Amino acid sequence: MENWHLIVGLGNPGAEYARTRHNVGFVVVERLAQRWQAPWTYEKRFNARVARAEVAGKRLLLCQPQTYMNASGESVGPLVAFYRVPLAQLLVVVDDADLPLGQLRLRPEGSSGGHHGLESLEHHLGSRAYARLRVGIGRQPGTRQIAGYVLGRFSSTEAALADKVLTVAADQAETWAVAGIQKAMNQFNGTVAGSASEGKEQ
């Protein structure tokens, strides 16, 4: 059987951060674990919650680092090394304030874009050559200061769209694992149907 595929959802541990915009990565991998009936276990050596599944003949690992966002690489680096996960078989799901809510963007590699979780991964992996699925959370209108915004929860008017987007993001991550990144990009990148920004994707 081939090597493991690893899907990492970035976020912050603890009830006070649950369901915040910054934690959309956590929510996506939780939905996959539920879909695949993969139980979570806390693995102390990685300081991470890990779930295992087999889907369409692929061995899949799901991970939620428990280090807090800015130190995510401290969990993911050792996990990648222990399971000998090729970087081509690593996907990181992360929030992106530069994309409006409703947009998904999967890329095979790229820069951190100033995201501290991705910066930590790049430092500990020694590479940026891994796939990342950016889930748009938008920005607070009229300000560049986003710390309070990303740590807030989706508003009542955003909740239904956010729920739909996170389900589609889980579909995209599953397609990446089962059918490859090209199909996952072609099928899902862009604006999720029904969102306010639909039709505005360039």
**22 catalytic residue (yes or no):** yes
Nearest-angstrom CA–CA distance, 193 and 28: 18
Q: How many CB atoms are closer than 10 A to CB 50?
A: 21
Q: Which of 22, 115, 123, 124 is catalytic?
A: 22
Tell me the C-alpha distance between 158 and 44, whole Å: 36
What string of DSSP letters covers 66-126?
SS-GGGTHHHHHHHHHHTT--GGGEEEEEEETTS-TTEEEEESS---TT-HHHHHHHHHHT
Query: Taking a C-beta distance cutoff of 8 angstroms, is the pair 22, 69 a contact?
Result: yes
Question: Distance (Å, rounded) from C-alpha 116 to C-alpha 122?
Answer: 10
CA atoms within 13 A on the CB side of 136: 25
| Residue appearing with tokens 């674990």 | 33
Catalytic residues: 22
